A = this chain, B = another copy of it.
């Protein structure tokens, strides 16, 4: 199973990109600073994302990256698949040969686990993440407002 910080960074970076994709290309330097991810590492990741046609690049000053597709059509699974090797929880990698050229007793278990993981990651789109991010920001703003109104603070939680 391959699910590493590489994939996590890629998703984070893509959310950042989607959040400010509105006005022209977004630079890696910006993402690097906002998300605290090393610039060279981002370059590596975005190379793969571009080769998998998830983003498009614009070179030169004023350049950067844009989403290549609508954010609602890009799933988290797509992103992770682009930067990590394909997700696979089986020992044999689908070859069904890990016990003397025979499928082992647990092959089906891992295959089905793969399906479950993939199913979930494919069900969440970049758009979903962006939306939930907006909701959260609104929630945070409301929290702050409420906190300002009731300086007693936590007591509000016990109504």
Measured CB to CB, the residues of A under 8 A from B are 1, 3-5, 8, 11-12, 15-16, 35-36, 76, 89, 91, 99-100, 104-106, 108-110, 112-113, 116-117, 120-121, 124, 129, 132-133
Whether the Cβ atoms of B105 and A133 lie closer than 8 Å is yes
C-alpha spacing A132/B108, complex, angstroms: 9
Secondary structure of the A contact surface, majority rule: helix
Whether the Cβ atoms of B106 and A116 lie closer than 8 Å is no
Whether the Cβ atoms of A3 and B89 lie closer than 8 Å is yes
A-B contact pairs, 28 of them (CB 8 A): A1-B4, A8-B91, A8-B106, A8-B110, A11-B106, A11-B109, A12-B104, A12-B105, A12-B106, A15-B105, A15-B106, A16-B105, A35-B99, A36-B99, A36-B100, A76-B109, A105-B129, A106-B129, A108-B132, A109-B124, A109-B129, A112-B120, A113-B117, A113-B120, A113-B121, A116-B116, A116-B117, A117-B117
